[in-house]
Amino acid sequence: MLSTREIKERIKAIPPLSESVRSAMDLLNGKEEEINFMALTQVLSTNPALMSKILAIANSPFYGMSGQINTLAQANIVLGIRSLRSIVTAAGLINQLPPKKNDLMDIQAEWAHGLGTAIAAAAIAELKGLDRELCFTAGLLHDLGIFILVIYFTEEYRLVIDQMQSQSVTLEQAEQKVLNTDHCEVGSIVAKHWRLPKAIRFCIAKHHKPDDIPSYDLNDVVHIGNILSRGLQLGGSGNIPVSTINPMSLKKLKLTVDDMAGLFGDIEKNFQASLSLVSNC
């Protein structure tokens, strides 16, 4: 078994965010009126793959601007800096992780699960008057730790999957047993290493344990979005069991089972319409 130190050492060796993603995120981090849009355009023009992913997200059904945004300047004028910030974070992370299909887990299907979570979380946020965009990005990236473990700890993670299936335990329980950590902790270490926004880091760390940060509604939304995405089978590799929604999260958000059922149709429709966003992962 790997020691916690070995795991942390290996995580430290994971490449940093690419220069263009890092610079773009830094440029977008300042006050809206002080953002140097020319410098942002310059940085992004050095990375065509990132730019095309940004435009794909800007034109996705989530923003309701299908096919109308062809340049970064249009995205800025039509959607605004706040949206651009979310889009660059989502696009940067999707492009950052090396695509890898293996017999252990279908990475593309797991990105689709992230997309399903993003869409479900955004639907709940909209219903409850919360930050829809932040919920979308946090939902998309909530299982960052699974990608890291599958890609960079493949052989150890094979034991985790075996353990989960043979012992009928949750993924997090199997991870704790085999690795003495879980995808939430690993994801949050990497998120810190990559300097992702705090709000997203919290959801990566706590989406299975909403009780740990009871005052943080965004995490409850992502927690529920994650389970809806698994339950509605929106992507996912198929070998991860569906867990149950924490009743405290429902209570805090004043969200009923009927409220959620009322969202299923739109969630499924938007998911199918957005799948191309993760088709090259």
User: Which residues lie near Fe ion (CB under 5 A)?
Assistant: 143, 226
Question: Is the Cβ of residue 47 or residue 142 nearer to Fe ion in the bound state?
Answer: 142
Sign of CA dihedral 45, 114, 188, 176: negative
The C-alpha atoms of residue 157 and residue 95 are separated, in whole angstroms, by 22
Cβ proximity of 240 and 173 under 8 Å: no
The C-alpha atoms of residue 100 and residue 147 are separated, in whole angstroms, by 10
CB of 172: closest distance to Fe ion in angstroms?
7
Question: Is the Cβ of residue 83 or residue 226 nearer to Fe ion in the bound state?
Answer: 226
CB of 240: closest distance to Fe ion in angstroms?
8
The C-alpha atoms of residue 41 and residue 181 are separated, in whole angstroms, by 40
CB of 17: closest distance to Fe ion in angstroms?
21
CB of 276: closest distance to Fe ion in angstroms?
21
CB of 145: closest distance to Fe ion in angstroms?
7
Question: Is the Cβ of residue 11 or residue 27 nearer to Fe ion in the bound state?
Answer: 11
Question: Is the Cβ of residue 143 or residue 185 nearer to Fe ion in the bound state?
Answer: 143
Question: Is the Cβ of residue 95 or residue 226 nearer to Fe ion in the bound state?
Answer: 226
Q: Which amino acid is at 45?
A: S
Residue 106 forms beta bridges with which residues?
101
- The helix (H) or strand (E) run that includes residue 256 is none
Question: Is the Cβ of residue 47 or residue 210 nearer to Fe ion in the bound state?
Answer: 210
The C-alpha atoms of residue 171 and residue 239 are separated, in whole angstroms, by 9
CB of 198: closest distance to Fe ion in angstroms?
19
The C-alpha atoms of residue 100 and residue 270 are separated, in whole angstroms, by 26
The two three-digit tokens of residue 244, written as one number: 């149950």
Helices (H) and strands (E) in the chain, counts: 16, 0
